[in-house]
Amino acid sequence: MPVYLRPRVKFLAFLVAPVVLVLLWRLLDVQAVQSAAYRQQAVRERVRNLTLPEFPRGSISDAHGFPLAFSELRYVVWASPPHIPNTMAVADVLAPILEVPTQTLLSVLTVASPSVILTREASWEQGAAVKELRLSGVWVTPWWRRCYPHRTLAASLLGFTAQTSGEGFYGLEGYYDPVLRSPRIQLVTEVDPSGLQPLPYEEAEVPLPRRGHHLVLTMDLAVQMVAEDELARGMREFGAEKGLVLVMDPRTGAVLALAVQPSFDPNEYQRYLDEGQEEVFLNLAVNTQYEPGSTFKIITLAGALDSGAVSLGETYRDTGRIEVGGQVIANWDGKAYGEQDLVGLMGHSLNVGAAWLATRMGPELFYRYVRAFGFGQPTGVDLEGEVAGMVHLPGDLDWYDSYLGANAYGQGIAVTPMQMAAAVAAVANGGRLMRPYVVARQIRPDGSVLESRPVIRGQPISPETARAVSEILARAVEQYMPQAAVPGYRVAGKTGTAQIPVPGGYDPRGTVASFVGYGPVEDPRLLILVRLDRPRTSPWASQTAAVVFQRLAQRLFPLATN
């Protein structure tokens, strides 16, 4: 090297050396000192915890396999605008497939957002067509939409499923949500630039999702349709605001039909929420309580006979008035009926007679039977949100001596229709109180079956007492309630006309008219409870609810006894 170049080389080396040292230090820092931190940052940028799409929610069918609720495959078509090179071209090609105007799609695709939804309701054919285009920045994701093919039919029994969260609410959908839902599966995987789609793997361990349980109900669609039809007819004819029909097999507690009006379409549940009509979702059979009125006299009579407080052939003199705990109780029509046996007491529906039975028992014995029949506690039926009713008991701070007389004829006590039906079913079933149930069996994803077995909750009265009460109720229908009689069958039953509690007392005009009955008396196969709220044509159950019962029984008894 020439001598005159050496100073220049030294000078350049002097200038370059610090740069090389800085680069070497930086390389050492990145590769060694902070390598762990940079690796973690890289993982955070390319690896995500993704939730895999749910498998379909379990379906629901009636006792004969007719579908009541199932999940239908739909597609969400969504896009990431920053990753779409030509939004106008994409809008043009998607518009005819999704049946959406081009300008509508364009307005969505130009939004400054990392992801936008173009539609949640694409069919299988539309989803397949979009996937086949392989458009940059456009993806298709499957989801399961809950479908209720019979719309308002049995809606209170079924409940509904939220389309966005997949969570079940009310009825069976709410109660059985944990087993109907497919478990969500989390997958840690590398994702594409959108951060929302996994990269393809040649080999990976992915947990397999499973579908929810399939529920087979005790409900018979044919019986349900008859119940819905006659309830709607009765409500129109008698001008009722609300109504309910509950049909049960008294031998097992199986619910064969549950019709509630007004009803709702679970396919369109959001519309009711938007209009502030959430009350329509409540199931009158289990979510609300009412004063049962004279149907409760069945319980009073059963307790009095079973305890020996009165004998089967005993009579009493009805003077039209009786005083219990400082309160004077009168018959519903204010009349005195003179000498009456137990059939006359039930046939005329005498409040004085019911109070007389309760005073013969005394508070301790009377309320022991009330509790034994299941009042004041949930029945355990497999429907969401069951309430316990309300029973004031001796010793409670809010109990008064006068309650003994009022409760005897179903005033001042609150029950659910499910409780009332189950209690009267115990009389029909030889004194055995059964737990009501709606699901006959669950079919698990692996094909195994979980059967629901009838459960005896207790034996409030003896078989002999049950037969005696059934005979009294049957004779009362035959002699005093021809509007509830069913040609060709012996029917046991009782009307109930109850006042409606309002702040400060009772509504002076509105009533809850009900009838509960069962038959054939020799071998009861069906128990039917009818409830009509605020009927306008007549406040009396004998002129409204009993008529609906008769029509129902005439159509259903032949189905049950063949």
Angle at 218 between CA 216 and CA 222, to 5 degrees: 100
pLDDT in tens, 528-549: 999 999 999 999 999 999 999 9
Q: What is the pTM of this model?
A: 0.86
Query: Token pair of 73, please?
Result: 């495959």
Do β-strands 47-51 and 186-190 pair in parallel, antiparallel, or remain unpaired? antiparallel
> What is the 3-class SS of 102-138, one letter each residue?
HHHHHHHHCCCCCCEEEEEEECHHHHHHHHHHCCCCE
State pLDDT tens for residues 133-147. 999 999 998 888 999
CA distance 282 to 159: 9
Q: Which two tokens stand for residue 298?
A: 């069945």
Residue 141 is predicted with a pLDDT of: 87
Note the pLDDT of residue 211: 79
Pair of tokens at residue 157: 């029994």
Cα separation values, 322 from 334, 405, 454, 561, Å: 12, 9, 42, 43
Helix %, strand %, coil % for the chain, to 5? 40, 25, 35
What residue ranges of the chain have pLDDT lower than 50? 202-204
Q: Which two tokens stand for residue 520?
A: 């054939």
- The full 3-state SS of 483-534, as one line of letters, equals HHCECCECCEEEEEEEEEEECCEEEEEEEEEEEEEEECCCCCCEEEEEEEEC
Q: 473: burial class by Cβ within 10 Å (0-12, 13-18, 19+)?
A: buried
Residues 6+ apart with CB under 8 A from 204: 189
**Residue 72 pLDDT:** 92
Residue with the two structure tokens 């020439």: 2
The burial class, CB within 10 Å (0-12 / 13-18 / 19+), for 87 is: middle
Residues written for the chain: 562
Kindly give, in sequence order, each residue whose CB lies less than 8 Å from that of residue 29, ignoring residues fewer than 6 positions away.
none
**pLDDT value for 202:** 42
